[in-house]
Structures are given as C-alpha cells and as structure tokens.
Structure 1
C-alpha cells in the first residue's frame, strides 16, 4: 500500500487518532516475523559498536515513533529526527520514484543545459584536451548531480533502527549516516547505488554514491544485509576516452572519523570498492583513536578489493568468508589492505579462490603491520602474511599490531566458516 508512513499504534493510540481524524493515519500493520527485530539491540560483547555505551538504535521508541513504509518518500520521512524511532521496510523500495511512486530515470534529474550526450560532446579530449571540465555544461552537470544526490540519499537521524520485513530491499538508494550516533540497520537488501552523473576528472571517471557511507558516525550496527550492484556491473560498462566509466563507488565506506562500528552476517556480492575505512592519509579528521570497526561473519563474494582497506583505525576482522570464482567481470585485486597507521587484527577467516594465489590476499598501502592468524585458503591452512612477505619483500609487513580487539563474540573454528557464513549471512537469514 502506497502513501504516508503507516504508524504501528496501540489500541488506545488508534482510538485517539480516529477521534482527532489526523491526516495520514493508516491501518496498523505489525511486522511479519516472530521476533520483533526492531526492539533488539546489539549484544554487549558484539564488537566495537558494543563499546562505550553500546548500540541500541531506536529500540526505546514510543508507539507513535514506529513506522512501516513501502515507498521511498515515506522511508525518507520516517527516518528524520533524533528521537528513538523504528522503521520497518516492506517490499522493494526504489529510490528512483517520485512522491506518488512513479518511476524516474536519470534523465528526469537533468538540469537545464545538461544532457549526457552534450557532456560527452563538450569534454571529448579531442576537443577539450586532457583537462578537467569547466564551464556551463559542467556547471549544469553539478546542478543535476546535486538534485539527484538530494533525492537518492537516505539520511537517518540518531537513535534509529531500520529493519527489513521478509524480503525487503532498497534499490538505487544510498544510506548516508552523517554525524549521527546510535543507528541499526538489519535484514535488508541494498542494491545498485548508481551514480547518474559520473564526473570526468581529466584522466579518469569518478562515481560518488556508496550503498552505505558512514561519515563521522558513531555506534552503528549493520547486520544481515545483502549488498549488490544488482546485475549492473561496472566492468561490463563502456570504456570512454580510454577509461572505464564508473557508476558505483563503495559498498560500505566508513570514513571521516567514524567510530565504534560492527558489520556482521552480511553478504556483499559482485562489487569493486567494497569497504574503505578511513578516506585520507592525512590526519585532518583526528582519527588516531577512531575508526574502530569489527567485521565478522560476512560473505565477500566476488569482491574485487577493500574488504577492508584501512587507514589509521583498529579493525577486528574474523570469521569472514571470501570467495572468488573467476566467473565474473569483476577482477580480483586483493582482500585486506593495510594503510597508514592501521591496525588490522584478522583471525580465522576462510578463503575459496581457486584462481588466486595466497600471496595476493593482502596489499600494503603504506601500513607497517597486520596480525593475521588461523586462515584457511582453498581448504588448507596457509600463513597469508608469510606468503605475502615472501612474494613482495619490498612491501613486507610486521606480524603484530599495537592495538588489538577488546570486545567480540565467539570466534568459530575456521573450518566451520564456509558453511556457517553461506547459510546465515545476508538479508532474510536471521535465526
């Protein structure tokens, strides 16, 4: 049912609404699962998001701040404000829809003076040279991008829980958690955060939208999500002016001093820039004691890179399953990247990558050390750090980090990880 957000009300509240004839009142509809996931909070030991007060989201919401939504406009409205709130998502919500639910296309966001064809004609290097665009057509692209960004970004306030009901999903939307605290998103598919207005930078294309971007956010729990490009693969797109056209950015990017985050039991499938944690080598965001993130029991399937790539922060990466079957347009670059001042503590992760060598799982992006133990690669115990250091001695990493994990749940034996994670990770698999 389309229309304003449907509030889940007590009997007394329904009577009160009927008596006052409030505009937009709708039939109460409870979520369809035995457990009320909206009232659940993060366990006391479940990673970094459990530290320093824990993560409760909107679990304390009063009845008049509990919503069920099935349109993009209603979802955007329901997540506003910092009061505790629970938002249940039904069906497949498409962000490329207007307030009445009518489908939109990229062209519907074109500002006067911009079309994709005019952009290509104007800034063709044969005409413009190998320079960054400027002038009226670029200014029109920026206006188009700004309107598009405003429409497709979901900006939850603090103290929010967003839960998918049954097989609920969001397509074309980008979850932007900016300067907020205490947010939970669970049991939801999030697909194809597509940039309609990629920018030519004079030598390469750049896309802007992440499925999830945490910017200065704290106490965030992302759990049982399924994140995909929804079959719209960057690497099957055209090369324009000798460079691959990018239309997607990160799957889950945790940046600009975000802190105390747990990402658990999620399935990230067929994506390039998967999980960037820390977005600059400078200390402009004072991240020395921030970017503390736990990543556990996730399935990274055909993920090209950044699972994760870390700068500055402290990551506990355990019991994840990494698979790459080679039957995909996405190339494999690496899984874990150690950046400047980073501390990755990886344990009991499993890898099934028949076409990849074990020394290529790691990458040194200016880091000094990574702790990695208990890994199984293609069914065998392998010292991934020793393999990397032997193959790439100029980029060798030390084996001990100075900051280890403080809170975590059970670390399962690595041999159990493939079947455990493939059976339980992703939306619709909370048990």
Structure 2
C-alpha cells in the first residue's frame, strides 16, 4: 500500500512538474483586506460578561512568568541566511485549485521591508508598515505584548477583550516571520501572545461573513477569488508559549490559541516549538481549570497548509483541523487540505489532530505519551481523531505510549467516526506494556469508497516509521533549522 501511494505521488509530482508553478504572491490582490488594525494595541479594559461568557469573577492573571530572554542586538549582524527561502516542495502548501504553487512568503521583500524586531511593539509596527507587501520579519529575543516601552514596563492582560485584541498579532499576506537564535544560541520566543494568520471577515464592515460568502458562491463566483483570504505566509524557527487565558469563556473552554490559521491559504509552518511554557493547566486554581485553548488550529475554510518539523508538548487540546460539523459546511467542505510531516507530539493530551472536513496527509511523525500519569493535562487521551466528513491518509508514524496495551492502540492513538475516508498504514507502536509491534491497516475502520480515494499531488520521500523516529528527534522544533 505505502509503495503504491508513494509511486503514485511521484508520478503525479513529475507530471505536474511540466507545469510552471504559480508564485503564491500573485493570489494576493489589491482588494485583499488588512486585518492588522484590530490587533496589538492594549485597551486595559475591565473584565465584563460577553454574551453570558467570561465571568469577571474568574479572572486570573498568569501565576508564573518566564525567565525573560530579551535581546538588544542581532548576533547575525543582519546577514540573511534562510530568510528569503521559499517553502520546500513537499506538502499541501505547494498546491492550489489553479495548479502547483511556489510559496514564497516575503522572499521578494525590498531592503526596506526587511525588519529585525526585539519587542512586541516593533513587531506590530513592521506588520502595519509593510501591509500586504512582501516582507521578512526577523525576531530576536523574546516577544510578549504584555511588555511595552522597549520591554521595560510589564502589565498583565486585564480582561478577555484586552487579551483578545491587545494580546494578538495578525500576520497579513506575503509574510515570512522567522526566529533568529540569540547570542547564547537560544531560539526566539513568543509568550503571552497569540499568533493569528488571517480571519473570517465579511466583505464590508458590519456585514455577515457567512451570508456574504454564500451569496458570492450563489452568484457563480469562485470561492478562491473571495477577497478576504490571507495567503502566502511562512513562519519558522520560533518557540511559542500558548497564552494563559486570564478570563476564559467558561470552566471548560478557553479562547486564546498559540497559533490560529483562519481563512488562510498557502501557509507553511516549520520548526516551531509550541507548548504551555511556564503556565501549564496544573497551576490553575479555583473552579475554572481550563486556561489554554489550542496549540495550533487550522480552521474556517483555511486551505493548503503544511505543518512540518515542529514539536508540540505539555498541552491539552492540541490541534483542530476544522472547528465545527454541519454548521461549517459552507466554509469547510472541499477545503482544509493540510499536511503534517516530521512533527513530534510529546506529553500532550488530545487532538493530534482532531479533523473535521479536512483532507489531511500525515506521514513520518512521532507521538510519545503516557496514559497513566497523574499530571493534570498531560495524560494521553487520544491521538489522531478523524471526525465529520474528514478524509485522512496516515503513513509510517512512530508511537511510544507508556501504559497502553497493543490491543488498546486502535481507538486510542488512532480513532475516528463520521469520516468519509481513512487510510492508515506502516506505523510502529511501542509501549512498556506491549513491546514493539508493527501496526498496519485501518484500525477496524472501513476504507473509503472509490469516490473518496486520493493521492497527494506533491512529491514526498516516505521513510519507515523506525527511520522517522531518529529523524524527528534530531530535527523537530525551534533552533534546529539548518
């Protein structure tokens, strides 16, 4: 099965090679709106109920703060190395409905659109100055929007509203955002700050995003020409601490993600290290224990996204591909093409990913966990979860889950219901209870019918799961970009 899939993908890739690839920057038109103005400016508002949610009585500042690694100088002297590189040619990010794509990010940036930033205000200013022009933003040190005045004044978020807007950075189209290791060799880091790529917008202020999009389609227009997409974005080599939600929705649901891709297309996320950092769920007190939302979510019709060579650790609700069932068909049906390759999930609880609607390809990843730990939020609950109308191809992943029997593997590490297609093969599962076992096949789930079979349209080199174990441990995460 795996050789057949790889051979087919090679054939398609070489066949498509005859077609000139389209630079993803050409998908960004003058009508593409900027969504940056709402974000990065603190309002210091008092906590209030918002549609019956975010009870002010449950406001709680982050109990711990990190050891800051602020920087004042760029150890590279501004010399560019990988910053102008286009994304590699493996993954769904290399495709579109118009054909093969080169995802260039900000690679074509003019010299005056190359920025090196040391604090949150500089980051926000660079984004606003360049807008949708190609831009490269190099982060050195530690970014946290709770700090101001050149990282000399700290003030915690004061409310849900203050954190939602003042604690988020929204990347526009044609952006390359990269971390530069500091003088001590530490990768750049973002704490207390949500990284947003795109957002679901109406055509005009005060409009309705869903109604506008549905009318656009009803009028016979191409959904990919709808002018509110954020496209052509590269993010690499960053440590991202998922924000502590000071005033979550309720006792079970927080708001702020580490990274959210929303109505984004042609996005490449690479060599990231995402975790709860210094504020794990276990330190929450009071009745509301949930203080983090997703580590990385790809939602609201986003498409052609690749997540590669990244690590996700110490987190509960890790990744959504699609954030709703039938109510999201208008935006998500036929979209959410996402690749996960070379990633390492360690000490995370669930959603690796949880997938609705997405046509997701996962290969050569590593999952390590523990089903018997008592540490809150880190007990392995579930891995890949194929849900409503999803279609997944999962190949040659390596799993090591302490306390899990081989007989429990299917339904725990790989499970699903309501999907339209699911293929899984070539994995290795290890455990202190089960020894080492090859796991092949569907985990008891029926294969897709012919109408839902698909082959990735890009070239990819499929390693064995055992080889992937070594490669992922050596390469995944920030600071390892070569």
Q: Give the TM-score, by structure 2 length.
A: 0.70
Whether contact under 8 Å (1:368, 1:397) holds in the other structure is no
1:268 and 2:301 are equivalent in the alignment: no
Structure 2: 5+ residue stretches without partners: 1-71, 182-186, 199-228, 431-435
CA shift, 1:205, in A, is: 3.2
Q: Secondary structure at the match of 2:146?
A: coil
String of CA shifts for 1:138-173, please: whole Å, max 9, x gaps. Answer: xxxxxx322221111011111000110011111111
Number of equivalenced pairs: 355
CA shift, 1:383, in A, is: 2.9
CA shift, 1:399, in A, is: 5.9
CA shift, 1:92, in A, is: 1.6
Q: Secondary structure at the match of 2:83?
A: helix
User: Take 2:348 and 2:459, find their aligned partners in 1: how far apart are those partners?
Assistant: 25
1:364 and 2:364 are equivalent in the alignment: no
Corresponding residue for residue 180 of structure 1: 230
CA RMSD, aligned part only? 2.2
Corresponding residue for residue 137 of structure 1: none
Corresponding residue for residue 54 of structure 2: none
1:84 and 2:134 are equivalent in the alignment: yes
User: Take 1:300 and 1:28, find their aligned partners in 2: how far apart are those partners?
Assistant: 33
Corresponding residue for residue 153 of structure 1: 168
User: Take 1:32 and 1:370, find their aligned partners in 2: how far apart are those partners?
Assistant: 49
Whether contact under 8 Å (1:97, 1:104) holds in the other structure is yes
User: Take 1:88 and 1:351, find their aligned partners in 2: how far apart are those partners?
Assistant: 35
CA shift, 1:408, in A, is: 4.0
State how 1:409-420 maps to structure 2 within 5 Å: 409-420=460-471
String of CA shifts for 1:185-215, please: whole Å, max 9, x gaps. Answer: 0011011322111123xxx432101110011
Q: Give the TM-score, by structure 1 length.
A: 0.78
Corresponding residue for residue 37 of structure 1: 82
CA shift, 1:239, in A, is: 5.2
Whether contact under 8 Å (1:155, 1:176) holds in the other structure is yes
User: Take 2:290 and 2:114, find their aligned partners in 1: how far apart are those partners?
Assistant: 38
Corresponding residue for residue 131 of structure 1: none
1:422 and 2:467 are equivalent in the alignment: no
Whether contact under 8 Å (1:59, 1:86) holds in the other structure is yes
CA shift, 1:105, in A, is: 4.0
Structure 1: 5+ residue stretches without partners: 1-26, 111-143, 390-395
User: Take 2:231 and 2:91, find their aligned partners in 1: how far apart are those partners?
Assistant: 16
Q: Secondary structure at the match of 1:366?
A: coil
Whether contact under 8 Å (1:256, 1:279) holds in the other structure is yes
CA shift, 1:419, in A, is: 1.4
Whether contact under 8 Å (2:74, 2:140) holds in the other structure is no
Corresponding residue for residue 250 of structure 1: 294
Whether contact under 8 Å (1:37, 1:163) holds in the other structure is no
String of CA shifts for 1:88-140, please: whole Å, max 9, x gaps. Answer: 0001222221244234343xx43xxxxxxxxxxxxxxxxxxxxxxxxxxxxxx
- Select which of 53, 59, 66 maps to 2:107: 59
String of CA shifts for 1:232-285, please: whole Å, max 9, x gaps. Answer: 221442351xxx521110011000000000100001111111110001112444
1:96 and 2:150 are equivalent in the alignment: no
Q: Secondary structure at the match of 2:469?
A: helix
CA shift, 1:404, in A, is: 3.2
User: Take 2:76 and 2:135, find their aligned partners in 1: how far apart are those partners?
Assistant: 15
User: Take 1:292 and 1:382, find their aligned partners in 2: how far apart are those partners?
Assistant: 25
